Amino acid sequence: MIVLVGMPGCGKSTIGRLLARRLHVDFGDSDQVIEQHLGCSIRSYFDSHGEAAFRDVEEEILAQLLRQEQAAGVLATGGGAVLRSANRAAMRAAAHVVYLKVTPEEIVRRVKNDTKRPLLQVANPLQRLRTLLAERDALYREVAHTVVDAGHGSASTVVNLIAMQLEQAQWAEGGAGHGSSVDPQ
């Protein structure tokens, strides 16, 4: 399983769908599963119950998704999924975690008209994203096996970068360590 982490609006869902298609595996989005479970939007739940209650639900659903036998091949997570150490440990143990790194400026450009992101419904979304990135970047890096710059190029370009890094990681873990050799010619 491949799990995508990163800031809200960094492209986890878009890139996840494309990556799953390229790898011929299923795609899952933890936020969609959470909304189905709650019977309402994340924003609505967030507004009425608060962030702590939402993070409890998120932790429960993420744990279920990571331990399912027929889990999605690629799973996009919510931007704050890394805030809980239990989530980070579960993701790192169950999957190859890819951190899609994008600058706050690029995220604002991408999501300026999106009203579904509760943490960005503030007077100054750019400042909010800068603060969130300062709080979360180390957590994304802690959980990630791979970091990919997802702020430049098309979604297809980012998928190609991820695919190349996954191939390199697979070769390093399985190929080189199991007596495989590379023909220098």
Domains of the chain: 2-168 (3.40.50.300)
Annotation: binding site for substrate = 31, 55, 79, 136
Annotation: binding site for ATP = 9-14, 117
Q: Which helix (H) or strand (E) holds 148?
A: strand 146-149
pLDDT of residue 59: 97
Annotation: binding site for Mg(2+) = 13
pLDDT tens for the 185 residues of the chain, in order: 999 999 988 999 999 999 999 999 999 999 999 999 999 999 899 889 999 999 999 999 999 999 886 666 999 999 999 999 999 999 999 999 999 999 999 998 887 777 676 666 778 888 989 999 999 999 999 999 999 999 988 999 999 999 999 888 776 666 443 333 332 33
pLDDT of residue 122: 77
Annotation: binding site = 9-14, 31, 55, 79, 117, 136
